[in-house]
Structure 1
Amino acid sequence: MTGMGMRYERYDDAEVTEFRVVAAPDELVPALQRSAFTERDGCWVRSCPAGTPHVDDAWVNFQRLAEPWLRQLAGLEPVLWEETLDLVCRRLEGIDWWLTGSAALAARGMAITPGDLDLVVSGADSHRAGELLLDGLVEPVAAVDWFCDWFGRAMFGARVEWAGGVGPAADQPEITDFGPHAAARLDKVRWRDHDIRVPPLDLQRAVNVRRGLTERVRLIDQFAD
């Protein structure tokens, strides 16, 4: 299928389903790489196990929403993170989730524009989160061999990614702002009409120091003062 200069195809066999970007503008190739697509045989691939729930819905959405998400990631379109966070808060009411990454700092009121929304969701609620975000689901919630048990991705006014069932590997070799250490020390912030759980500032500061994000560290220090 073609959409604004991009072409997609789907591949299925007994083991795997693949969503393939078979043509993309050069300006979006770095965004494909940053989104963890695998380059293979001239196309860019994201895959999940065959039979993953909601894979057909995700495929329909992928063809419609892959380009907007990649254009945002490439800095070509604004990231509508506030309206998307409001949607997530309303949709995921009753779900065990919390917000991490730059969006957690923005929710505290810092002058940061996040590139996406990074969520940590309990393993038990991972699939339910995908169902509640089904109209924007671009990667179905699937088992992964990573620091978490499950991973899903959706696109609304901003990209939403969630890690489900995050385990101790997330805090190896260094403590992060999305692992069990952060989960044990969450702060609660009031954002608009929502109470949102976020990592403690000291962990987020340490992560940004390690990443060399000096301006973000300055904003955290200014906020803490």
Structure 2
Amino acid sequence: MKLYVKQMYDWNYYAYYAEDVDEPYWGFFKNELWWQVGNSFIKPYDNVEGFEYCAENFAKYGETAVYQLLKILPAPWEKALDFLIPEMKALGVDWFVHGSAAMALWGIGVAPRDLNVIIPNAADYDKVRSRFFRLAIKPFERCDNWLMSALGSIFHEAVIGFAFQNAAPEPFDMNRLTRLDYHGEAVFVPGLESLRQDNAAMNRPDRVSMIEKRMREAARA
């Protein structure tokens, strides 16, 4: 598999390319909305603000990032989290870890392929984007009236994906989450029941079983 980025014309129009992709990995690229051409895939970006940083970062880290997301390479998500904690502390916005990394922080035996971060207050989008857009491997873009209000990904040791919740009448109550200790730092994650419901909704019975086992262990503690 060969991955690279190409400027398509003499303006802000780029495309990511993945060539000679083995068929078992096609599903990943289709889910990420890449265009398929034979056994290759293309992801175009037309006139996206600041995309020159994404292009530069993908040229440096794109192959590593995609190989981690495909689980061809292990993703050092803890190193990514070590980087992120002081950055978010300096930024001063609420955030929490979700997905498989949240499960791992609960002590559940999964191998995260990235670090999923939720920004619960949509109004913090500009602050977060301004801090991280030069590290982006997937651009920060608004997608209002969807499941989330904005998305974006950076790469530092592993992919760190940011998802911004939709605007709400009141600020998000972080007390709805669970505060865990991570190397002496407080990191917020969803509760086990919330993770169980999310994975059940996504039809991941293996993960549901792992979470339920952890819930039983927590109840006995």
After TM superposition, the score normalised by the length of structure 1 is 0.77
TM-superposed deviation, 1:62 = 1.7
Please tell me whether residue 88 in structure 1 is matched to residue 87 in structure 2.
no
Aligned-pair distance for 1:134? 4.3
Distance 1:202 1:13 in 2: 51
1:33 corresponds in structure 2 to 30
Q: How many residues align?
A: 207
Matched, 1:9 2:6: yes
Structure 2 match to 1:79: 75
For structure 2, the residue ranges without an aligned partner over 5 or more in a row are: 217-221
- Counterpart of 1:171? none
Unaligned runs of 5+ in 1: 169-179
1:1-225 paired onto structure 2 within 5 Å: 5-11=2-8, 17-27=12-22, 29-39=26-36, 43-47=41-45, 50=47, 52=49, 54-93=50-89, 94-121=92-119, 122-134=121-133, 136-145=135-144, 146-167=146-167, 185-225=176-216
Letter in 2 for 1:84: A
CA positional deviation for 1:120: 1.3
Does the aligned pair in 2 maintain the 1:10–1:19 contact within 8 Å?
yes
Cα distance in structure 1, aligned partners of 2:9 and 2:162: 24
Please report the TM-score for the alignment, with normalisation by the length of structure 2: 0.78
Rate the CA distance shift 1:77–1:195 in 2: closer, same or farther, 3 A: same
Deviation at 1:19, TM superposition (A): 3.5
User: Percent same amino acid among aligned pairs?
Assistant: 21
- Alignment partners' CA distance in 2, 1:118 and 1:185: 18
Q: CA RMSD in A?
A: 3.0
